[in-house]
Each structure stands twice: as structure tokens, then as C-alpha cells.
Amino acid sequence: MKKRLDTDPRYKAVESSSAREDWFREYVKALKEERKREKERDREKRDKRENKDKGDKERDREREREKEKEKEKEKEEENDATEVREGF
């Protein structure tokens, strides 16, 4: 592997092997940090989506409860009207 790198002008540009190693380690560290940031962004997006879905579901449940209350109220009004007509 080193033989292939020996011919690369970028490799030759840095004469010190310890400097090349330091730069490589810095590069690897930067890659890890970037991956970590990407994962965090993905996690935040997922959490945001999940929270939105939870809010949507809660709103849907609340609408269903309101519809049920309206139906019950209409039934009660119908029963009251029926009782009035029948003379109760």
C-alpha cells in the first residue's frame, strides 16, 4: 500500500511521517464528529416527526370525542322531543 502512496504528490508534500499520521488522526476525528452530527440531525428529525404524529393522533381522538358528544346530545334531544309528543 505504501508503494502506491509514495508516488502520490500529496504524500510527498508532507515530509514528516509523524505529521502525516497526525493529520490522518485529525481527519478521522473530523469524520467521526460529522457522523455524530448527522445522526443527531436524523434523530431530531425523527423525534419531530413522531411528536407531530402524536399531536395529530391526539387531535383526531379529541375530534372523535366531540362527535360522540354531539351524537349523544342529538339522541337526547330526539328522546326529549319524542317524550313531549307522546305526552310524558
Cα dist from 80 to 69, 70, 77, 86, whole Å: 16, 15, 5, 10
Q: How many residues does the chain have?
A: 88
Answer whether residue 85 shows pLDDT above 80.
no
Reported pTM:
0.47
Beta-strand runs (E) in 1-88: none
Average pLDDT estimate for 30-49: 93
pLDDT, greater one: 1 or 62: 62
Amino acid at 86: E
Average pLDDT estimate for 16-20: 90
Task: Give domain limits for the chain.
Answer: 16-86
Q: How is residue 44 written as a grid cell?
A: 431530531
The pLDDT assigned to 28 comes to 96
